[in-house]
Amino acid sequence: MLAGVLSAPWAPGDPRSPAWWAACITFLKNTFGDNLLAAVGHVDEGHDHVHFYVAAPGFARVNDLHPGKAAMESAKADGATAKEQKAAYVGAMRALQDAYHEQVARHHGQTRIGPRRERLTRPEWRARRDQAALLAERLRQDETKAAEHAKRRADLEAEEARQAAARHRLTSEHEQRALRLDAKAAQIATKEAELAAREARVAAKETLLAGLFEKFKKTVAAIFGRLTSLEKAELRPVMAEAKEVEYALHPERAPRKDGGLEPHRPDAGPVNGTPAARADKGT
C-alpha cells in the first residue's frame, strides 16, 4: 500500500480548508484513479493536512503505484545507469509536484518552491507567500467572474432557445392556419364551380325550353290560322295561357300598362289586353 500526506500552510479550521480538501481529493482521483482507497483530513497538528492511501487490485507491488519508483524501474529496464535512474525518479516526482501546484496549490495561495530550496530569508519567504496568496485570491476572483460570465451566457442561450421555440411555435401555428384557410378557399372554389355548373345546366334547360316553346307557338299559330271563328273563340283561353308561359320565359316581352312592354310576373294573372282578358270581359 502507498500512503502520503498533502499539507496546507494554514492552521486547521481555516475558512479555506473545505475548498482545499475538495481540491486535494480531486487531484488524488486524477492521479491514482480507482486505486485511491481513502483520503482523510486531519486537524491534530499545527497545519491543515490530508492523509491518503493507494493500493492496486489484489494489493500488487507498491512500486507500480509510486510515480518516482515506477519511473526509476522503467529506466532500469531500459538499461539506464544508476544516475539516470535517479534522474528519472526525481523527474517523475517533480512532475507530480508540478501537477499538484497546477491543480491545487496555486488556487489556494501556496508557492511551488519553499524557502529552503531558494535559500530565502524569512522576510523574503513571507513576501513570497503573501504574493502567492494574493495571486490565489485574484485567481479565485477570475474564476468567479468566469463562472458568472458562463452562467450569464448559459442564461442568454437558454433565453434565445426559448424565443426560437416560441417563434417556431408561432410559425407552425401560422402555417397551420394558412393551410386551413387554403383548404377552406379550395372548398369555396369547389362550391362556386358546382354552382356555376348548376347555373349553366339551368340556363341550357331554359334555352332548350324557350326553343321548344317557340316551335310550339309557331305550330299553334299555324293551326289557329286554319280554324273557324268558333274554334278560334274556344281556343282563346289556351292561347292566353300560352302567352303567360311566354311572358314567364321572357319577362321583357310582357306589355306595360302605358302601352309599352314591362316585366310581367308569372303569378300576376292575365295581362290586360290579352285575349284571355278580353274573353273574361265577354268580348
Q: What would you measure as the largest C-alpha separation in the chain, in angstroms?
A: 158
Average pLDDT, the chain: 79
Percentage of the chain with pLDDT > 70? 83
**E strand or H helix that includes residue 54:** strand 49-54
Residues 6+ apart with CB under 8 A from 111: 105, 128, 129, 132
CB-CB contact of 1 with 55 (8 Å): yes
The helix/strand/coil state of 4 is strand
C-alpha cell at 55: 493500493
Reference 75, options 63, 57, 60, 61; nearest CA is 63
Q: β-strands 49-54, 2-7: how paired?
A: antiparallel
Mean pLDDT across 136-158? 78
Q: How confident is the model at residue 48 (pLDDT cuts 50, 70, 90)?
A: confident
pLDDT for res 120: 62
Q: Which pTM was predicted?
A: 0.43
CA atoms within 13 A on the CB side of 34: 4
pLDDT, one tens digit per residue, over 226-257 is 777 777 777 778 778 877 877 777 777 777 66
**pLDDT one-digit tens code per residue, 68-110:** 998 999 999 999 999 999 999 999 999 998 999 889 888 887 7
- Per-residue HEC secondary structure of 31-52 comes to HHHHHEEEEEEECCCCCCEEEE
